Copies of this chain bind each other. A is one copy, B any other.
Amino acid sequence: MSADKRIGIAGLGTVGSQVAARLLSGAVPGAVLTAVSARDASRDRGVDLSGQRFVSNPQDLASADDVDVVVELMGGEGGVALDLVQAALKAGKPVVTANKAMLAAHADSLSEASCGSPRVPLAFEAAVAGGIPVIKAVREGMAGNEISRLSGILNGTCNYILSRMEVAKLGFEEALKEAQDKGFAEADPFLDVSGTDAAQKLTILSALAFDVAPDMAHVSLTGIEQISAQDISFADGFDSVIRLVAMAEHRGAQGVFHQVVPMLVKKNTTLAQVSNELNALKIEAEPVGSIFLQGPGAGGGATASAVLGDISDIVQGFGRALFRAPTSGMKESATQNAPDSEYYVRLALADKPGSMAKATQILAENGVSIEEVVQRSSQAGDSFLPVVFITHHCEISALRAAVGALEAQKDICNEVLALPVFTEEM
């Protein structure tokens, strides 16, 4: 066995502290923790780091003589984290990171630095789906397959909120508050509830699965802020739940379609069983068929697990570069053209004669045919009633035209929300 690899960690939050503690306990043979960097050297993190060199400027880990592998756990899309990773790669030092925002935003420059010649390992299992080894599954396990679709639940915060709305009959705001109280959501929840975080992860997976350069502009993005307790209740009536589904699908010559959107998911699917803060990924590929992975997508322990796995690979000489090639050499393009789908269309319909006839006529005129309709009785005095249409399979363009036309009829309907329906069973 060759000499131990010396590890330097930048960022000693929940994840960094756990990674440090596990390294110190010898959890990764061949890895020894030599240096750490954090804003506050003196804070008690429940782990004795007195034997490690404390570096006040994280950047110095890239040039330090006593660091062979740099672990970036500071976070942030650019700034210090990006500077450190770039400097380490330039110095030929393998990097481990959990930073999906950085990878999604700077895939071009990072892939140039990691996937050039020589290739320098840049490992990021922790950046997507936390403790579930999805990067390994997609890139390595499926290496000989043709992947047709990835679909998953990649944001534990949104899944927790939707699960609580479903099980405890909470409204969105109440469920968000509960998630914040339990530490599953940030004080500023925007990146999570808007679907941005899931979209970042999706673009990273898509680069591995489909060889398409990560670009957030590729992702058709809808958050969960518009989902109401009423939607959850309607979904239940269709034997479904609502899940924020991240999906990337190879659409042949058109390219790869990327979408993060709340979907109506039939209860008998594996995705519907994914509850609370869990994450999951379904991989559909030939010749393997369909693979389903589930586990904790966030939290100190889960993220630390993924970081430690990456460190273990690297110290054994099995570290991989960011992607197959720099993004400039990737072969696939993206499409905004969504596959045909059934849709859940919920709106508030004026409680007066002719409203339903008009609404259904608008759908028909736009080529959207209706599979099911549910109208709920109103509270006394409401002049608008909640109505849901489940459409047959239709093109996204038809659906959008129909929704636009409905929204234009302000006297008879408003609050139009359209969600695709996820039906495929494992």
Contacts and interface: CB of A to CB of B under 8 A. Distances in A.
A41 interface: no
A306 B289 CA distance: 12
A-B complex: 10 closest residue pairs judged by Cβ atoms:
A144-B308, A133-B141, A287-B301, A143-B312, A288-B305, A291-B295, A131-B288, A292-B294, A289-B296, A143-B309
Given A287-B300, A293-B294, A318-B320, 12 more contacts: A133-B141, A136-B137, A140-B312, A270-B294, A273-B273, A287-B305, A288-B296, A289-B295, A289-B296, A289-B301, A292-B293, A292-B295
Interface residues of A, number: 48
Interface in A268-300: 270, 273, 285-296, 299-300
A143 B287 contact: no
20 contacts: A22-B287, A27-B144, A27-B145, A28-B143, A131-B291, A132-B291, A133-B133, A133-B136, A133-B142, A140-B312, A140-B318, A144-B304, A144-B305, A145-B308, A288-B296, A289-B296, A289-B299, A291-B295, A292-B294, A294-B426
Contacts of A146: 27
Given A27-B146, A273-B273, A318-B320, A141 B309 contact: yes
A19 to B, nearest CB: 8
Given A289-B296, A291-B293, A137 B133 contact: yes
Interface in A287-334: 287-296, 299-302, 304-309, 311-313, 318, 320
Contacts of A197: none
- Majority secondary structure of chain A interface residues (helix, strand, loop or mixed): mixed
Contacts of A292: 293-295
A240 interface: no
B301 A290 contact: no
A125 interface: yes
A18 interface: yes
Interface of A: 18-19, 22, 27-28, 125, 131-133, 136-137, 140-146, 270, 273, 285-296, 299-302, 304-309, 311-313, 318, 320, 426
Given A131-B291, A293-B291, A22 B301 contact: no
Contacts of A125: 141
Contact of A142 (B273, B287, B305): B305
Contacts of A300: 287
A301 B273 contact: no
Contacts of A320: 318
Nearest to A307: B144
Contacts of A295: 288-292
Contacts of A133: 133, 136-137, 140-142, 291
Nearest to A283: B295
B144 A22 contact: yes
A121 to B, nearest CB: 11
A295 B144 CA distance: 16
A137 B18 CA distance: 20
A380 B288 CA distance: 51
A172 to B, nearest CB: 26
Contact of A286 (B140, B142, B301): B301
Contacts of A140: 133, 136, 309, 312-313, 318
A35 to B, nearest CB: 19
Contact of A294 (B285, B291, B299): B291
A19 B144 CA distance: 9
A311 B307 CA distance: 25
